[in-house]
Amino acid sequence: MKKYLLTVVGPTAVGKTKLAIALAHHFRSEIISADSRQLYKEMEIGTAKPTAEELACVKHYFINSHSIFTNVSAGKYEKEVLALTERLFLNNNYLIMAGGSGLYVDAVAKGFAEIPHIEPAVRERLNESLEEEGLEKLVEQLMNTDPVYAVEVDKNNPQRVIRALEVFIGTGVPYSQWRKPPVSDRKFEVIKVGLELPRDQLYERINDRMDNMIEEGLFEEAKSLYRYRHINALQTVGYKEIFDYMSGRYDKEECIRLLKRNSRRYAKRQLTWFKKDTNTRWFSPENIPGILDYVKQMTN
């Protein structure tokens, strides 16, 4: 029997978890999360993890599986997921993978070049440069050393910019070259389903989700993690804004405005990434019958 990895992608708050659970029930299968933040157990509220009820009704992997003190790169994620699928496919012909981290999805679906070990001192120097000279200086350095990646990287994300510079300094090869996937012979076929909504509906969902997170204690969670704010895992939307508020850069009202704005911008970047893959078929998150028909068509 052929093996199929049904991959659900799309922007934050669009409804990936709900669909993944519906697919898992239909195919009597399990879910692998492709979210680069939900795998960290210390980051609970700000990562919008599945609820306790959702986790209880279907087995999920890569939720609360790692600590923020362990850096999980796309390459590391690829290796761990492939080892997991090898085991899970022994008893399943279908597995569900769902998440909004495009790099992680591509690593599993297409393969990811293994970047050699880079001395930690390189990243330490770059972090010092970030503190002393600011992100703009690092972006300028990236544009000079790797203009290909500089065009597509989120220039407001210091983690991504520093990672690209770290790789170039440590290997002498631009990060964009390492990201070209090797030819990979997967033992399963990948079927990609993308979820999208009209922009006004999606943005309303994002704003409502952020209000709910704040009500559930997002500021208190960020406060408990403040002393670890330099760690890569925490250089992300939903935490950076609160860390800056705690540092006195702006008041709480402005912080909440930025939390919502930056979450909407993140969703836009996610869509841009996923729309580049012409193998992805797009649906409304409520169109479960249409999605099941598409999967049936692709597996016959």
Q: How confident is the model at residue 180 (pLDDT cuts 50, 70, 90)?
A: confident
More confident: 184 or 258: 258
Q: How confident is the model at residue 182 (pLDDT cuts 50, 70, 90)?
A: low
Instruction: Assess if CATH 1.10.20.140 describes domain 120-178.
Output: yes
Query: Rounded CA gap, 214 and 257, in Å?
Result: 12
135-178 pLDDT, tens digit each? 999 999 999 999 999 988 888 888 889 999 999 999 998 998 88
Question: pLDDT value at position 152?
Answer: 84
Query: Rounded CA gap, 128 and 130, in Å?
Result: 5
Question: pLDDT value at position 214?
Answer: 98
Query: Rounded CA gap, 99 and 10, in Å?
Result: 7
Residues 6+ apart with CB under 8 A from 289: none
Question: How much of the chain exceeds pLDDT 90, in percent?
Answer: 78
Determine how β-strand 189-195 pairs with β-strand 31-33.
unpaired
**pLDDT above 70 for 120:** yes
Query: Rounded CA gap, 114 and 71, in Å?
Result: 15
Region 123-143 average pLDDT: 91
**pLDDT above 90 for 3:** yes
Query: Where are the extended beta strands (E) located within the chain?
Result: 4-9, 31-33, 60-61, 94-98, 189-195, 280-283
Question: pLDDT value at position 181?
Answer: 67
The angle, 0 to 180 degrees and rounded to 10, between the axes of the packed helices 199-216 and 218-225 is: 70
Could you tell me the residue ranges of all domains in the chain? 4-112+181-299, 120-178
**How many other CB atoms are found less than 10 A from the CB of residue 158?**
19
274-292 pLDDT, tens digit each? 999 999 999 999 999 999 9
Using alpha carbons, list the distances in angstroms from residue 200 to 5, 93, 139, 206, 237: 31, 38, 31, 10, 20
Instruction: Assess if CATH 3.40.50.300 describes domain 4-112+181-299.
Output: yes
Question: pLDDT value at position 183?
Answer: 62
Do 4-112+181-299 and 120-178 agree at the fold level?
no
192-218 burial by CB neighbour count: b if 16+ within 10 A, else e?
A: bbbbbbeeeebbebbbeebeebbeeeb
What does the block give as tokens for 92? 């399943």
The reported pTM is 0.84
The angle, 0 to 180 degrees and rounded to 10, between the axes of the packed helices 120-133 and 135-145 is: 130
63-89 pLDDT, tens digit each? 999 999 998 988 889 999 999 999 999
**pLDDT above 80 for 261:** yes
22-77 pLDDT, tens digit each? 999 999 999 999 999 999 999 999 999 999 999 999 999 999 999 999 989 888 89
Smallest CA-to-CA distance from 261 within 210, 216, 218, 214 is with: 210
Query: Rounded CA gap, 21 and 25, in Å?
Result: 6
